[in-house]
Amino acid sequence: MNSKNIRAAFLDFFEGKKHKIVASAPMVIKDDPTLMFTNAGMNQFKEFFLGNTRSKYPRIADTQKCLRVSGKHNDLEEVGKDTYHHTMFEMLGNWSFGDYFKKEAISWAWELLTEVYKIDPETLYVTVFEGSTDEDQLEMDQEAYDFWKGIIPEERILMGDKKDNFWEMGDQGPCGPCSEIHVDLRSAEEKAEVNGASLVNQDHPHVIEIWNLVFIQYNRKSNGQLEPLPEKHVDTGMGFERLCMALQGVKSNYDTDIFQPLIQALERFTGLSYGKDEAVDVAIRVISDHIRAVAFAIADGQLPSNTGAGYVIRRILRRAIRYGFTFLNIQEPFIYKLTPVLTEAMGEAFPELSEQQQLIENVIREEEHSFLKTLEQGLLLLEQSLKKTKGKVMDGRKAFELYDTYGFPIDLTALILEEKGYSLDEQGFEEAMQEQKSRSKSASEVTKEDWIVLKQGTSQEFVGYDQLEASVNLLKYRKVSTKKEGEQYQLVFTPTPFYPEGGGQVGDKGYLETPDGDVAYIVDTKRENNEIVHFAKELPKDLELPLTAVVDAGQRRRTAANHSATHLLHQALRKVLGTHVEQKGSAVHSRYLRFDFSHFSKMTEEELEQVEQFVNERIQENLPLQENRAIPMQEALQQGAMALFGEKYGEEVRTIRFGESIELCGGTHVNRTGDIWHFKIVSESAIAAGIRRIEAITSDAARNYYEEHLQDLQEIKSLFKGGKNAVESVKSLQEENAQLKKEIESLLREKAGSLKQELSREFEEVGGINFLARKVDLDASGMKDLAFELGGQYDNLFLLLAAEQGGKALLSCYISKPLVEKNKLNAGAIVRELGKYISGGGGGQPFFATAGGKNPDGIQKALEAARSFISE
């Protein structure tokens, strides 16, 4: 069975069991402050488990793109070293939301594995939660045990502890006991020697967990306590790559048809073969794994960057580059060349890959290029640092600096040190690392108290498209605190007119007011687990009184103008530049808007003007907003709306149309484009290979922009006292200026000419030498010019010129070349000597040298001393 069929068979099976098949959620999570990447299939259903929202379908199945490189589930360091952990992998899952429970979950899993996939039941082991005696005091999962007992001999049902058999997504949230299914892939001889049961959950590469059935029945609260959920749910996750290994009769995920094309391509690029040398094999596994994580992240709209999720992606790619650099000995970009191979293998199941192949390739190539440069630099720095090292141990803090400032990986440092016969002070490195970690941790640490629920079972309604004010009921609140924001309260009330941050648009601000005029300000609004959460510095004094929630109308109006303008900008870019332009991110604030899009080159002045003009024409047409709040996705797409990659859409979507611009959008907008007032681009720049960024302003900000410019102009005009046309005035000023410059230059030339004549008359003959030591009113370059001109006319010249400039003293000494040789004179040595009189120093060539000093009072003495060099 090839991997495509294996995936399809899973989905077909659960469709047959009345499950709704849904698409994978994006791997990069945009609007959840608690999670950067999807790390399990259940993430996108968190709100259903918590009971915030009811799923339209009680049963769902899918394949979910997961990434386990940060937070509670982080497998990064294992990847490549073992053969069954990946950074990015597909998790096949089936879910019940308050519908079926353990019995069905267990028997269907068994049926699928043994009857559809035809895995030999003798090779399977299952685990059951044994209970815990710690503070949770959980009982053994007897129910699951009993169901398994009806299916599989008891000696293959194993008891497991909390670590393996109690699944939690993070420190807080839905969780519960689980039952895993393991498969023993060893040969008959190996099995005869060692019993498979003793190898379950022992990190044996051929006795591995393939499927985990989680029975979600608790919510882990902030104080660590478990609270039973009102309903019980099933959440299962099966590792697709591991399943393929089991079904394709191979012993490593990398030997399946999922990875083989990538590995073969790497063999072609490098001329090396997989399976001969463990170090090479690890590198090949690392690269063929990481290309998937990076490509899928970029396809989801997450570019490598220096912060947050972008930085995690950058580090994954850098890990791959470094393995290639060190173990495959490739010092030029090559990983990007795997992109077409990956698209070929996975593009059908994940069209976001094929549609963005070019972009993915460009971004990876550019990243490789710049990191390879960093590596080279790092190598140099390392060399230098070793030269300064006394003894044979490199300072751990130095190594940390290389790691932290230059992105130079520590294991590479260690490797190079080893090759050169040095060792690393690991403790020093660890200390520096820990210090930095605790610094950044305490900066980002969030503590959340539990929700205090005032009203149970009421769901929240958003009325912010139509109203900016509503009388509301407080449902629940809690205290949270972060280093950055300090203590804040989160409030959930209904209905709410507050727009939560999302789709690039910032959250609303405003206030809550009690009937007696007590006010609590709302500083931000965000969505969390499908609830709209309002952030306030203080609670309203009386929580029982009816409250009025009021959105800051000014901020909302300016934000809406920017959001609508963003849509028009998108439309304009596709018109002016072409339909290859795709939105790659946007930030809609009240003061400005930012729009990132794919395009291969810098935009020209004309293109920018055309874009501005296009948008402003749409504004002038005063197009009305045409909003459709709930339209089936398919229909919206048919009407011409574009879905963005990496965005999660429901079956019904909202569309926003202004004339011919139509977008899927949940944001707030102006009623007519005329309300945008005016659109002005303030910058255009590159943010990554093939990605450009435009920043622009509208409404009040555009008005301010023009008013400020107008004010500047008025001031300029008033400086010209009555001159009507400022441009003409500036032009004539420039002309006048140029004329004056010319005059000054010719005057200076004249002055220099007469000075030259004056000086030649002052030459004094000292032992056959034309000698002159004199103060002049020139700057350094004027003195030099003068000296060289005189030098061109006389060939036995000894000249010392001195000047005072800006409180400092300058000396120039010129000696004709024949004298330099014949009389053994050296201008450089002479100015150094004379420099003492002016408290300074200098130098130069034997025939011309200069000195500078901070004591102009010494000039006279220096001039007097000059004669001594020739009269001795």
Which residues are near ligand ATP by CB under 6 A?
40, 68, 75, 85-86, 89, 91, 167, 209-212, 237-239, 241-242
DSSP 603-634: PPHHHHHHHHHHHHHHHHTTPBPEEEEEEEHH
Alpha-carbon distance of 847 to 819, in angstroms, equals 9
- Closest contact distance (angstroms) between CB of 352 and ligand ATP is 20
- Closest contact distance (angstroms) between CB of 309 and ligand ATP is 18
Local structure of residue 672 (DSSP, 8 states): B
Tokens of 324: 């290639």
Of 89 and 798, the one with the shorter C-beta distance to ligand ATP is 89
Instruction: Tell me the backbone φ, ψ of residue 797, rounded to 5 degrees.
Output: -110, 135
Tokens of 69: 């490189």
Q: Is the peptide bond before 495 cis (omega within 30 degrees of 0)?
A: yes
Of 237 and 497, the one with the shorter C-beta distance to ligand ATP is 237
- Closest contact distance (angstroms) between CB of 93 and ligand ATP is 8
Annotated binding site for Zn(2+): 563, 567, 665, 669
Exposure string for 762-783, b = 16+ CB within 10 A, e = fewer: ebeeeeebbbbbebbebeeebb
- Closest contact distance (angstroms) between CB of 237 and ligand ATP is 4
- Closest contact distance (angstroms) between CB of 201 and ligand ATP is 7
- Closest contact distance (angstroms) between CB of 253 and ligand ATP is 7
- Closest contact distance (angstroms) between CB of 138 and ligand ATP is 18
Rg over CA atoms, the chain: 37
Alpha-carbon distance of 769 to 823, in angstroms, equals 10
Of 66 and 691, the one with the shorter C-beta distance to ligand ATP is 66
DSSP 733-770: HHHHHHHHHHHHHHHHHHHHHHHHHHHHHH-EEETTEE
Q: 533: closest CA among 565, 502, 559, 500?
A: 500
Residues 667, 501 contacting (CB under 8 angstroms): no
Alpha-carbon distance of 819 to 256, in angstroms, equals 86
- Coil, strand or helix at 164: helix
Q: HSE on the CB side for 364, CA within 13 Å? A: 30
Of 200 and 863, the one with the shorter C-beta distance to ligand ATP is 200
Of 204 and 774, the one with the shorter C-beta distance to ligand ATP is 204
Alpha-carbon distance of 831 to 826, in angstroms, equals 9
Of 169 and 576, the one with the shorter C-beta distance to ligand ATP is 169
Measured at the CA of 106, the angle between CA 102 and CA 110, to 5 degrees, comes to 175
- Closest contact distance (angstroms) between CB of 85 and ligand ATP is 4
Alpha-carbon distance of 512 to 575, in angstroms, equals 44
Tokens of 741: 């410059």
Of 86 and 365, the one with the shorter C-beta distance to ligand ATP is 86
- Closest contact distance (angstroms) between CB of 181 and ligand ATP is 8
What is each CA distance from 652 to 628, 633, 664, in whole angstroms?
A: 10, 5, 10
Of 40 and 576, the one with the shorter C-beta distance to ligand ATP is 40
Exposure string for 677-701, b = 16+ CB within 10 A, e = fewer: bbbbbeebeeebbbbbbbebbbbeb
Of 242 and 556, the one with the shorter C-beta distance to ligand ATP is 242
- Closest contact distance (angstroms) between CB of 172 and ligand ATP is 17
Alpha-carbon distance of 851 to 838, in angstroms, equals 9
3-state secondary structure 315-375: HHHHHHHHHHHHHCCCCCCCHHHHHHHHHHHHCCCCHHHHHCHHHHHHHHHHHHHHHHHHH
- Closest contact distance (angstroms) between CB of 183 and ligand ATP is 10
CB atoms within 10 A of CB 427: 9
Strand pairing category for 423-424 and 393-394: parallel
Instruction: Give the residue closest to ligand ATP by C-beta.
Output: 239
* Number of residues assigned to the chain: 872
Alpha-carbon distance of 481 to 433, in angstroms, equals 25
- Closest contact distance (angstroms) between CB of 239 and ligand ATP is 2
Of 246 and 372, the one with the shorter C-beta distance to ligand ATP is 246
Alpha-carbon distance of 350 to 368, in angstroms, equals 24
Of 163 and 276, the one with the shorter C-beta distance to ligand ATP is 163
Alpha-carbon distance of 593 to 587, in angstroms, equals 6
Tokens of 98: 């308050």
- Coil, strand or helix at 485: coil
Annotated binding site: 563, 567, 665, 669
Tokens of 49: 């488990």
- Closest contact distance (angstroms) between CB of 7 and ligand ATP is 14
Of 76 and 809, the one with the shorter C-beta distance to ligand ATP is 76
Helix axis angle, 396-406 relative to 426-444, nearest 10°? 50
- Closest contact distance (angstroms) between CB of 466 and ligand ATP is 43
135, amino acid identity: E
Local structure of residue 518 (DSSP, 8 states): -
Of 92 and 522, the one with the shorter C-beta distance to ligand ATP is 92
131: left (phi over 0), alpha (psi -120 to 50) or beta: left
What is each CA distance from 636 to 632, 643, 651, in whole angstroms?
A: 6, 9, 10
- Closest contact distance (angstroms) between CB of 91 and ligand ATP is 5
- Coil, strand or helix at 407: coil
